Amino acid sequence: MRRYSAFAIAREALRYHTGWERAWAAPEPKSEYDVVIVGAGGHGLATAYYLGKNFGITNVAIIEKGWLGGGNTGRNTTIIRSNYLQDPSAAIYEKARSLYETMSQDLNYNVMFSPRGVMMLAQTEHEIRGYQRTAHANALQGVQTEFISPQRVKELCPIIELSGPRYPVLGALWQPRGGTARHDAVAWGYARACSDMGMHILQQCEVTAIHQADGQVTGVTTSKGEIKCKKLAILVAGNSGVLANMAGFRLPLESAALQALVSEPIKPCMDVVVMANTVHGYMSQSDKGELVIGGGADGFNNYTQRGSFHHVEETVRALIETFPIISRLKMLRQWGGVVDMTGDRSPIISKTPLGNCFINGGWGTGGFKSIPGSGWAMAELVAKGEPGELAAPFGLDRFKEGRFIDESVAAGVAH
């Protein structure tokens, strides 16, 4: 595949853009692959990419029931940070964040990574203590964060109201190298690189059954026919429980809709990401000028991909409190995605009771930021059959052993 470059843009401009190749191929499915990956979201595609790049495994199909990146990967609010409390979380989220730094170069695809800085506001005494503790933990983990004063918050984000009607801003946990990236581009960049390695991305192809013999996975039934495989990796976010059911095991997960909304575009007014966890909302400004806004997940399990009105109302109310300047803005559109949440709010990257079948899920409301780190760790698990250092703490056995990785604070409203 031809590299994208300034020279290529100039060349194509001269010939009226007639020479661009398709970014990825649309092949017919083969009858068998070494590895079948279910789900062409960021996690599935990143797993495929690192299987090829780090382990030379390229006889891979990535099977997607809709269009690639059309799940949560294309529906999230694109926040990237690694300021988690527990060591295993900091390790995998920081690995991911550092891979984002060079992703555009690695993939030869501009994912618009923007390390503009992320702040999580402390608006109660408890939050001050909690975030100070996280800042200390992050210092030990080698993750660069600091607890900053309200004055510094105001300097970094002048449109913020420090003396909010209910909760004044008392400080913030600040990660200067956190930020955002273009979510679709992350999926497209990985897809292009995977296709270039000869992998098959099969869109509009739904997995409807998983087959096994003697306790080992043997293949899948899809809407495009039977496909055999030596190894199967399931990375389907909100549908994890459905796929696990097909494979004959259960997961400690709940699925619910999480929603986001954007305002009409306005002139640049904030160049950091702000999360206000106590009042329950967060906001950043996209390159188009829209304010990108998110809040909480539905309080009941569902697969609706819609979200509910009361969350829109609560989230907007919370953000008007934090940023009174936005009170007269019009909201442009709203959407939802189905997220899968574990009890300890940490992901699952694991072998399963079915031999050679692996699962990666439970990223809940915050798995966009982890895509490259998760793909890296999952590729190692699939290639070697055993988890490496990054994935090992996130095995399913932790739920049996009561060895939880509690991130309920870091994963609250914050994404």
Give φ, ψ of 134 to 5 degrees: -65, -40
Measured from the CB atom, is 50 or 170 closer to ligand FAD? 50
Q: Smallest gap, in angstroms, from Cβ of residue 78 to ligand FAD?
A: 5
Q: Does 38 bind ligand FAD (CB under 6 A)?
A: yes
Could you give the C-alpha distances from 51 to 58, 146, 191, 245, 256, in angstroms and in order?
A: 7, 35, 13, 26, 30
Angle at 201 between CA 7 and CA 52, to 5 degrees: 75
Structure tokens at 138: 């992050």
Tell me if 201 contacts ligand FAD by CB under 6 A.
Answer: no
239 forms part of the interface with ligand FAD (CB under 6 A): yes
Indicate which single residue of 365, 375, 390, 407 sits in contact with ligand FAD (rule: CB under 6 A). Answer: 365
Token pair in block for residue 283: 């906001």
Q: Could you say whether residue 260 binds ligand FAD (CB under 6 A)?
A: yes
- In the bound state with ligand FAD, the residue whose beta carbon lies nearer, of 148 and 275, is 275
Strand order from edge to edge, sheet including 146-148: 146-148, 171-175, 118-122, 273-276, 281-285, 291-297, 253-263, 331-342
Kindly identify the residues of this chain, within the stretch 202-231, that bind ligand FAD according to CB under 6 A.
206-207
Alpha carbon distances (Å) from 362 to 21, 235, 254, 378? 36, 10, 9, 13
Beta strand spans in 75-176 (E): 79-80, 118-122, 146-148, 171-175
The verdict on 117 binding ligand FAD (CB under 6 A) reads: no
Considering the complex, state which of residue 44 and residue 88 has its C-beta at the smaller distance from ligand FAD. Answer: 44
Alpha-carbon dihedral 204, 209, 215, 216, rounded to 10 degrees: -20
**52 is a site residue for ligand FAD (CB under 6 A):** no
Stretch that binds ligand FAD, among 321-329, 350-358, 367-375, 399-407 (CB under 6 A): 367-375
Residue 298 C-beta: closest distance to ligand FAD, Å: 11
Rounded least distance, CB 8 to ligand FAD, Å: 29
d(CA 200, CA 61): 5
- DSSP conformation class of 264: P
339 contacts ligand FAD (rule: CB under 6 A): yes
Q: Considering only residues 53-92, where is the footprint of ligand FAD by CB under 6 A?
A: 63-66, 70-73, 75-79
Q: How far is the CB of 191 from ligand FAD (least distance, A)?
A: 12
For 248, the 3-state DSSP assignment is: coil
Number of H helices, E strands in the chain: 11, 18
Which of 196, 340 has the CB closer to ligand FAD? 340
Q: Which residue has the closest beta carbon to ligand FAD?
A: 41
Two tokens at 332?
């442009």
Binding residue (CB under 6 A) for ligand FAD from 35, 48, 119, 236: 236
| Region binding ligand FAD by CB under 6 A among candidate stretches 27-35, 193-201, 316-324, 363-371 | 363-371
Give, for 253, the enclosing helix (H) or strand (E). Answer: strand 253-263
Q: How far is the CB of 6 from ligand FAD (least distance, A)?
A: 31
Alpha helices in 179-272 (DSSP H): 183-196, 240-247
Of residues 277-306, which lie at the interface with ligand FAD (CB under 6 A)?
Answer: 294
- DSSP, res 328: T
Q: Which residue stretch of 2-10, 12-20, 38-46, 189-197 sits at the interface with ligand FAD (rule: CB under 6 A)?
A: 38-46
Q: Is the dihedral of CA 340, 288, 274, 169 positive or negative?
A: negative
Least separation in angstroms between CB 181 and ligand FAD: 10
Residues lying near ligand FAD in the complex (CB under 6 A) are found at: 38-44, 63-66, 70-73, 75-79, 206-207, 235-237, 239, 258-260, 294, 337, 339, 363, 365-369, 415
